[in-house]
Chains A and B, each alone.
Chain A
Amino acid sequence: MDNNGLYRIYVNCELTSKEDVYTFMSDVVCQDDLAQKEVVVNQFNQREKAGSTLIADHVMLPHIESNHIKNSHIIVIRLAKPILSWDEETKDIRLVMGILLKEHENVEIKKKIAMFTRSLAHEDYLNRLLTISERDTFYQALKKF
């Protein structure tokens, strides 16, 4: 795991389902507050009901804005093994990038996150994130934003 301000980066993460991923991300941002964790997980599920957060083959971008989050985070999870069935329609997920935006976040942080999400429009960049095997190179590729 690598902690650096906005980013929380995890590689070779042993998570096996969408539920595991949402719980993991809620643990990161809410730590010991069980009630808040539950709310955050529900918000992810609600967002997903509004439309898929699959942005490219093998890549999910779940995102929420919440007053239950103290600090905004981009949580990047490179899975140790693909999640073969994220849901009925979404299969073989290898990389999850969760955006957890604090309600009323300041514009500078929002701009940083927006710059990051714009970068995800580039297939070459996403392919690099999916295939880089060196841990340090993976961190560097993410932190250029």
Chain B
Amino acid sequence: MKIVGVAACTVGIAHTYIAQEKLENAGKKAGHDISVETQGTIGTENELTQQQIAEADIVIIAADVKIAGRERFEGKRIIQVPTEIAVKSPNKLLEKAVEVVNQKESLK
């Protein structure tokens, strides 16, 4: 499955980067193609390309603040959670993403 994501927290120095790392590690371990953009105190890093977004089956937004560029995901299936969820339960969050994509596929 192709997954893109954005991580952003209030201070932008802690949860943002842990959430990114946890989601990417858990996603790769589960065999997904995953890329997570961070919007932290340093600015935007690992910025998602239009192609990555276009090809993604689902978008995971792990954020405690309003993210920049949300309009890029218009028309995509989105799961939005606080960063805490991505930090504490990345595997469960990815399982939920798979479930959502599968539900969408079965409705086609």
Q: Which residues of A contact B (CB under 8 A)?
A: 47, 50-56, 61, 63-65, 99, 101, 105, 107, 110-111, 113-114, 117-118, 120-122
Contact = CB atoms under 8 A, between A and B. Distances in A.
B40 A121 contact: no
Nearest to B86: A121
Interface in B72-108: 82-84, 87-88
Given A52-B84, A63-B11, A110 B18 contact: no
A114 B21 contact: no
A87 to B, nearest CB: 14
Nearest to B41: A110
Most B C-beta atoms less than 10 A away, residue of A47, A53, A56, A117: A117
Nearest to A65: B11
B30 interface: no
B42 A111 contact: yes
A63 B13 CA distance: 8
Contact of A118 (B12, B17, B82, B83): B17
B40 A114 contact: yes
Given A99-B13, A117-B17, A51 B64 contact: yes
A107 B18 contact: no
A113 B64 contact: no
B35 interface: no
B14 A61 contact: yes
A55 B87 contact: yes
B52 interface: no
A51 B42 contact: no
A108 to B, nearest CB: 10
B11 to A, nearest CB: 5
A91 B17 CA distance: 24
A121 B14 contact: no
14 contacts: A50-B64, A51-B64, A51-B84, A56-B88, A63-B14, A64-B11, A65-B13, A105-B41, A110-B41, A110-B42, A114-B13, A117-B17, A117-B18, A118-B21
Nearest to B10: A50
